[in-house]
């Protein structure tokens, strides 16, 4: 058995600086049911054009890696932008934001190799308190001719052969200072692993988290329950497909870099997992000669 697991997060459909499939159709249902909802096409801004290009490149990267192997896609939260921070939204209607999120994921769902899509709950204020995910599942299912497994989950433990993947949206920060990068991840990972071992369980092979729109990864090996064998886990913070929104600018205290991409993991029988991060960082500062 060989399989590719794709992890992406923070696509924030519905914001003008977030991932937007150019083929998305929205509906103006403000006069519904008096009139039939009117279909609306979308037009992409410069950041969205760039994000869509990155997304296409990353999907191709996964397809090349997968070859004939099957692919599972796991979206680790914040599939929509929500309406708590309405500045720069494409549309504040939950249905239209869910349509955008579904159109972004349909690109995967329509690939022959993709056998499932799972949505992990993100930040409540970005997902209409999780209502968006159920809507996205509905739109994905209705947009597909074939049947694949599509679910909305809160905190998942995926099992693939001998390996498990622990996926939730919130987790440790990447670190607020360059010299502290990774520290929080390691403490969080060590605590999670020891907790599992104390309960007599094997820690998940990989912990996946989102929310910070920043790529980071740490690896730990500690003694297992028997005290002799070593057990290994990785923790990954996912980059996003989202530009620097005014909210993100404030939250990141004006970070000048933006990480965009995904992480693919190859799982094979009788072998350890192989992790393939696929992302780029861009410098957002405007250089000005005075």
CB 18 within 8 A of CB 79: no
CB of 93 to Fe ion, least distance (A): 20
Site string for Fe ion, 114-143 (x = CB under 5 A): --------xx--------------------
218 lies in the site for Fe ion, by CB under 5 A: no
CB 175 within 8 A of CB 218: no
Strands 206-209 and 163-167: parallel
Site string for Fe ion, 175-214 (x = CB under 5 A): ------------------------------------x---
| Crossing angle of helices 131-142 and 94-109, rounded to 10° | 50
CB of 192 to Fe ion, least distance (A): 19
Among 58, 78, 91, 218, binds Fe ion (CB under 5 A): 78
Distance CA 20, CA 49 (A): 8
Q: What are the two backbone dihedrals, phi and then psi, of residue 247, each rounded to the nearest 5 degrees? A: -65, -45
CB of 232 to Fe ion, least distance (A): 28
Distance CA 214, CA 112 (A): 30
Distance, C-alpha 36 to centroid of its chain: 34
Among 4, 6, 7, 10, binds Fe ion (CB under 5 A): 10
CB of 64 to Fe ion, least distance (A): 28
Distance CA 37, CA 209 (A): 37
Site string for Fe ion, 37-76 (x = CB under 5 A): ----------------------------------------
Nearer to Fe ion, 3 or 127 (CB): 127
Residues lying near Fe ion in the complex (CB under 5 A) are found at 10, 78, 122-123, 211
């Amino acid at each position: 058995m060989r399989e590719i697991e794709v992890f992406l997060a923070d696509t924030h459909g519905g914001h003008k600086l977030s991932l937007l499939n150019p083929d998305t159709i929205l509906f103006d249902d403000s006069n519904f049911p008096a009139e039939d909802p009117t279909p609306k096409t979308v037009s992409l801004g410069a950041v969205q054009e760039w994000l869509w290009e990155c997304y296409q490149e990353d999907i191709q990267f996964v397809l090349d890696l997968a070859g004939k192997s099957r692919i599972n896609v796991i979206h680790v939260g914040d599939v929509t932008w929500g309406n708590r921070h309405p500045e720069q939204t494409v549309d504040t209607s939950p249905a239209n934001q869910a349509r955008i999120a579904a159109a972004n994921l349909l690109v995967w769902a329509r690939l022959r190799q993709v056998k499932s899509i799972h949505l992990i709950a993100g930040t409540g204020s970005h997902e209409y308190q999780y209502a968006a995910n159920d809507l996205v599942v509905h739109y994905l299912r209705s947009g597909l001719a074939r049947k694949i497994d599509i679910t909305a989950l809160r905190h998942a433990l995926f099992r693939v052969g001998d390996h498990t993947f622990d996926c939730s949206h919130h987790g440790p920060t990447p670190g607020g200072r360059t010299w502290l990068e990774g520290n929080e991840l390691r403490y969080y990972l060590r605590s999670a692993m020891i907790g599992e071992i104390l309960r007599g369980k094997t820690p998940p092979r990989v912990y996946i988290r989102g929310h910070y729109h920043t790529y980071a990864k740490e690896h730990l090996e500690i003694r297992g329950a028997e005290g002799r064998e070593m057990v290994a886990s990785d923790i990954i913070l996912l980059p996003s497909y989202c530009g620097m929104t005014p909210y993100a600018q404030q939250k990141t205290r004006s970070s000048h870099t933006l990480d965009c991409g995904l992480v693919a993991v190859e799982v094979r029988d009788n072998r350890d997992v192989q992790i393939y991060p696929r992302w780029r960082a861009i410098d957002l500062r405007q250089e000005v000669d005075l």
